[in-house]
Amino acid sequence: MKAYIAKRLAWTVFATWVTLTITFLLIDFSPISAAGAEFVDQQVQSGMDADEARELYEDQLGHGDTVWERYTNFMIGLVTFDWGLSTTYNQPVTDVIMGSWIYSFQFVLPATIISVVLGFAIGLYSATHQYTKEDYAATLFAFTGVSLPNFWFAIMLILVGGVYLDWFPIYYTTNVPGILSWENAHQLVLPVIVLSTSAIASEMRYARAESLEYVHAEFVKTARAKGLSENEVTVRHIFRPAMVPLITILVGDILGLLFAGAYVIEYIFQIPGLGLISYNAIIQQDTPLVLATVLIPVFIAIIGNLVQDICYTMLDPRIEFGDR
């Protein structure tokens, strides 16, 4: 198993390097940023030559080197944990990330827990009660949840819950007594609802489909014939084998929640988390910050896959590393 983990870790490093290199090149060769264009335009209107203005902008950003120098400087910095200075935030990139992840985590974590627990529970119930009214209702909920665009749903919730009912704040502010305060929880209700709704729906559909494979399996019938209660049959003989593929989905889902859903939700509710920071970094072409915000999901994806493989063996002893 040690050799396997070492091999996987080496693969992790290689995959991360490839991802970062591609991202670096994409940013480096992309057209001038909106902020850069605005700067150049202002200088040109003041009488400066466009080429000079571009050069001045590059100088102000400290981008005066060649692509190769910029690339090697960045990679060396990355390995030595000198991730550079964010030009948008005028802070070291690590400080920006350290100051922002908690804002994402505080609504992504509850949304993930809610969606996994409720999604799996409803999916399992739906599978064991196939073609009942409850199953149809759950299916309707799932399709509605998956189909609702987060962007639209968030704005609707703001209008109904914030403007008309006046139950919830419309936007997120850091001006609260603390992360664990009631005020903070109150302003996170709408983001958590938006994020968990679509996630519950997808978890539920997966859980239902995977569980259905085992509902009519021979060993389940045997378990029932042995006189086990319906709950025992559902949890031990249906849910446990269904968990193996569901774990795979779970890793992907958490990543999706964090880095796709969070982008939209943090933008609309103005939550200064990783999604909003990454969005601002891309818009401002803040290369060190874009690369750092790319690095994090890459790490989570790769380590998540590792954890997922280890979970496989715990849930299904038939899977061994030696077979790979």
Partner 1 sequence: MDPAYAFDENDEFVPRLIRDYEVNDDYTEWTFTLTEHGEWSDPYGAMTAEDWVYSITEILQGEDNWANASMADDWRMSVDEVPDGFEAADEDGEQAWFNVEETGEFEFTVEMPLPFPGFLEEPILWGFQEVIPKDLAEEFVEDQDGDAMNEDDEIQELSYTGNLGAFTVEVLEIEARMNATRNDDYYLRNYDGFEDAPVIEEWTYQVMSEESTRLSALQSGEITHSGVPPRRAEEFDDDIDDVNIFENPTVYCQSMFYNMRDDGWEGLQVPEVRQALTMAVDREELVEEVQYGYATVAHTLSPEYSDFYDNSEVVEWDYDPDAARQQLEDNLPSPYGYSDDRVVDGDGEEVVLNFVFSDSADDTELTARIIQEEMDEIGLEVELDEVPWNTMLDDYLYKEAGEAQEWDFMSGIGRNAYPRAPEATEGFWRPGESANGYGYDDPHGVADMLSDAARMADADERQSQLAEVFGILSEDQPWNFLYFPEDIEGYRDHVEPSEDSSISWEYDINRWEIEQEQ
Q: Which residues of this chain interact with partner 1, rule CB under 8 A?
A: 31-34, 36-51, 53, 56, 59-60, 62, 85, 88-91, 155, 158-159, 162-163, 166, 169-171, 173-175, 267-270, 272, 276-277, 280
When the beta carbons of 8 and 63 are compared against partner 1, the nearer one is 63
d(CA 207, CA 144): 17
When the beta carbons of 38 and 232 are compared against partner 1, the nearer one is 38
- The minimum distance between CB 88 and partner 1, in angstroms, equals 6
- The minimum distance between CB 197 and partner 1, in angstroms, equals 18
Measured CA angle at 30 (ends 26, 36), to 5 deg: 135
Total number of residues shown for the chain:
324
Residue that has been written with the tokens 């809610």 in this structure: 114
Helical residues (DSSP H) of 176-286, grouped into ranges: 182-215, 218-225, 230-232, 240-256, 262-269, 274-284
- The minimum distance between CB 51 and partner 1, in angstroms, equals 8
When the beta carbons of 74 and 312 are compared against partner 1, the nearer one is 74
- The two tokens of residue 119 are 């999604």
Residue 10: how many CA atoms within 13 Å on its side-chain side? 6
- The minimum distance between CB 181 and partner 1, in angstroms, equals 16
- The minimum distance between CB 26 and partner 1, in angstroms, equals 15
When the beta carbons of 99 and 110 are compared against partner 1, the nearer one is 99
Residue 7: how many CA atoms within 13 Å on its side-chain side? 6
Residue 30 and residue 22 in contact, taking contact as beta carbons nearer than 8 Å: no
Residue 298 and residue 15 in contact, taking contact as beta carbons nearer than 8 Å: yes
Residue that has been written with the tokens 């795979």 in this structure: 248
d(CA 275, CA 265): 8
Residue that has been written with the tokens 């060649």 in this structure: 66
When the beta carbons of 116 and 289 are compared against partner 1, the nearer one is 289
Helix pair angle (34-45, 50-61), 10° resolution: 130
When the beta carbons of 60 and 229 are compared against partner 1, the nearer one is 60
Determine how β-strand 91-92 pairs with β-strand 85-86.
antiparallel
When the beta carbons of 136 and 182 are compared against partner 1, the nearer one is 182
When the beta carbons of 123 and 272 are compared against partner 1, the nearer one is 272
Residue 28 and residue 287 in contact, taking contact as beta carbons nearer than 8 Å: yes
Q: Which amino acid is at 222?
A: T
